[in-house]
């Protein structure tokens, strides 16, 4: 049992490191490459200047789209970090209680049981997130339990009703929850 706890703890910490790495990778400051013309300005733009302005507009649109994509990835990374932090805190709490020999046996047994349930729940969450990536083609998705609700955050421009229904069905089957306990949210 102790080996399993250590393994879950190690996997949790590795996941946390990966999430933090991804967060810092995507939030890295990418200094702009803006150019300012200081010489040769005239009242009438030249044809070359108009072409440059058209390309600048396309570049600006591309930059805005890239920023939106990066923003969605950052939000998902933050949510994953929150998930791992909450999980680590709960696991640590239950592990301390279960390992405390000064506590009554009923209390330590209950904490060990809760720790086991938490580990099983985490395995199911991981499985759902893997399915969202592999089968549903949502590489940036995270499932969080907030109070008695399960929120599925998906980084996408558009989510069809059929896709949302499929995701809800997956969560209901894997976690054994009702449809009214599930929210699917688009992150952008």
Average the pLDDT over 107-126 and give the result: 93
Q: pTM of this prediction?
A: 0.62
Q: pLDDT band at 126, cuts 50/70/90?
A: very high
pLDDT interval class at 188 (50, 70, 90):
confident
Number of domains in the chain: 1
Q: What is the CATH number of the domain that holds 105?
A: 1.10.287.4300
Where residue 44 falls (left for φ over 0; alpha for ψ -120 to 50; beta otherwise) is beta
**Distances in whole angstroms, Cα of residue 93 to Cα of each of 64, 110, 140:** 43, 12, 29
- Low-confidence winner among 12-21, 28-37, 88-97, 171-180 (lowest mean pLDDT): 28-37
Distance (Å) of CA 153 to CA 19, 39, 44:
15, 49, 50
Copy the structure tokens of residue 141: 């998705």
Instruction: Please indicate, yes or no, if residue 140 is contained in any of the structural domains.
Output: yes
Q: Which of 6-15, 41-50, 137-146 has the weakest average pLDDT? A: 41-50
CA–chain centroid gap for 50, Å, is 42
Find the mean pLDDT for residues 41-52: 42
What backbone torsions phi and psi does residue 91 show, to the nearest 5 degrees?
-65, -40
Count of beta carbons in the 10 Å neighbourhood of residue 151 = 17
Predicted local distance difference test score (pLDDT) of residue 71? 76
Q: Is residue 129 part of a domain?
A: yes
Pairing relationship of beta strands 149-155 and 141-146 according to DSSP bridges: antiparallel
70 located within any domain? yes
Answer yes or no: is 145 within a domain. Answer: yes
Q: Does any domain span residue 33?
A: no
- Its domain, for residue 10, covers 2-23+65-187
- Is 142 contained in some domain? yes
pLDDT, one tens digit per residue, over 135-187 is: 989 988 999 998 889 999 999 888 999 999 999 999 999 999 999 999 999 98
- Structural domain contains residue 84: yes
Residue 57 within a domain: no
Q: What is the pLDDT confidence band of residue 83, given thresholds at 50, 70 and 90?
A: confident
């Amino acid at each position: 049992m102790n080996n399993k706890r250590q393994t879950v703890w190690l996997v949790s910490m590795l996941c946390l490191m990966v999430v933090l790495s991804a967060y810092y990778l995507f939030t890295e400051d990418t200094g702009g490459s803006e150019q300012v013309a200081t010489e040769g300005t005239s009242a009438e733009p030249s044809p070359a200047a108009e072409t440059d302005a058209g390309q600048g507009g396309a570049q600006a649109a591309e930059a805005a789209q890239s920023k939106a994509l990066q923003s969605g990835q950052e939000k998902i990374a933050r949510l994953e970090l929150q998930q791992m932090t909450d999980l680590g805190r709960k696991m640590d709490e239950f592990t301390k209680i279960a390992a405390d020999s000064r506590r009554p046996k009923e209390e330590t047994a209950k904490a060990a049981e809760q720790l086991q349930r938490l580990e099983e729940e985490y395995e199911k969450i991981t499985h759902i997130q893997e399915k969202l990536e592999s089968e549903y083609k949502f590489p940036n998705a995270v499932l969080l339990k907030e109070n008695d609700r399960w929120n599925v955050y998906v980084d996408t421009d558009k989510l069809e009703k059929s896709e949302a229904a499929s995701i809800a069905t997956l969560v209901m089957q894997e976690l054994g929850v009702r449809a009214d306990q599930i929210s699917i949210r688009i992150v952008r």
